[in-house]
Amino acid sequence: MRRLLLVICVLSVGSFARAQTAPSLGAAATFAVLGSAVTCTGPGVISGDVGATGAFTNTTGCTIAGGTPPATNTAAGLAQTALNTAYQNALVANSSCTSFLAAVPPASFTLAPGVYCNTGEAPALTMTSITLTLDAGGNANAVWVFKIDAALTGTSLQVVMAGGGQPCNVYWLVGADSTLTTSTFQGNILAGGAASAFTSTGGTLIGRVLANGAVALTGPNIHGTCALVAQGGGSCPADDDDRHHHRDKDKDRDHDKDKDKDKDNNKDDNKDHN
């Protein structure tokens, strides 16, 4: 019996050690966008705080909604230091990979919570016209960690949350530049390489963009809800499945109301007939 209990304990500890771990972002948590320099070419919207240790350039009509003006002072510097610490700690804490990603993934695939690595001979990840579904399986606290040693490139990429999954619990650890074009992206990008830059053109991003290098946004639509939650306001958006579920429940309520009306009308008709 003791031997059996010992085996169970060892297996439990081993499973816990391999579990994915969300990084603590510290002073960087309250920023929706952070970089050594930030350029926003509108029209576009960024919801949340913007931090730049260098210059912030707003060329034409880039609106910062629900956040503070760009921080180029001590706050941005502290956030940059916190980003580097979070990035390095996350690499160590998530050293065991659940699975390895192909350099060019299939057109549509689903991933359960876990640590997904892109290393070896093809350390860059390119996803073009791909739908990636992150299915939490009903666990709203589920965490995904993506370890990408080199560049991340997404073109017409769709990242979809399902099964109660939250974009605030998705972390992309990118060792080089990140480039998104007309993509719907979800999660926190931690571009922790020495000069890792971030560039986006069109599309939508729900989460954070935290980079050591420059950030260039053209026609952005960035929902920094994760940063706003860290400030004590708002909440993470529900996944599409949940929204469909609520709409279905509303339809059921309306259907029940129609049934009740029909019953009342029938009662009135019967009274009149009598």
Containing H/E element for 2?
helix 2-18
pLDDT tens-place string over residues 158-170: 999 999 999 999 9
Has residue 241 been placed in a domain? no
Q: Is residue 262 part of a domain?
A: no
Q: Does 152 reside within a domain?
A: yes
Q: What is the pLDDT of residues 31-40, one digit of tens each?
A: 999 999 999 9
Mean per-residue pLDDT pooled into runs of 10, the chain (274 residues): 33 47 96 95 94 90 83 88 97 95 88 89 87 98 96 97 98 97 98 94 98 96 93 60 37 44 48 45
265 lies in some domain: no
Residue 121 belongs to some domain of the structure: yes
Domain-embedded: residue 12: no
Judge whether 210 lies within some domain: yes
Residue 158 covered by a domain: yes
For 126-178, the pLDDT digits (tens) are: 999 999 999 999 999 999 999 999 999 999 999 999 999 999 999 999 999 99
Tell me if 227 sits within 8 A of 30, measured CB to CB: yes
Token pair of 87 as six digits: 């990035």
Q: Which residues pair with 100 in a beta bridge?
A: 117
* Residue 129 belongs to domain spanning: 30-230
**Is the alpha carbon torsion for 229, 183, 130, 240 positive or negative?**
positive
State how many domains the chain has: 1
Confirm if 198 and 189 have CB atoms less than 8 A apart.
yes
E-strand ranges in 42-143 read: 44-47, 49-52, 56-58, 62-65, 99-100, 108-111, 114-118, 125-128, 131-135
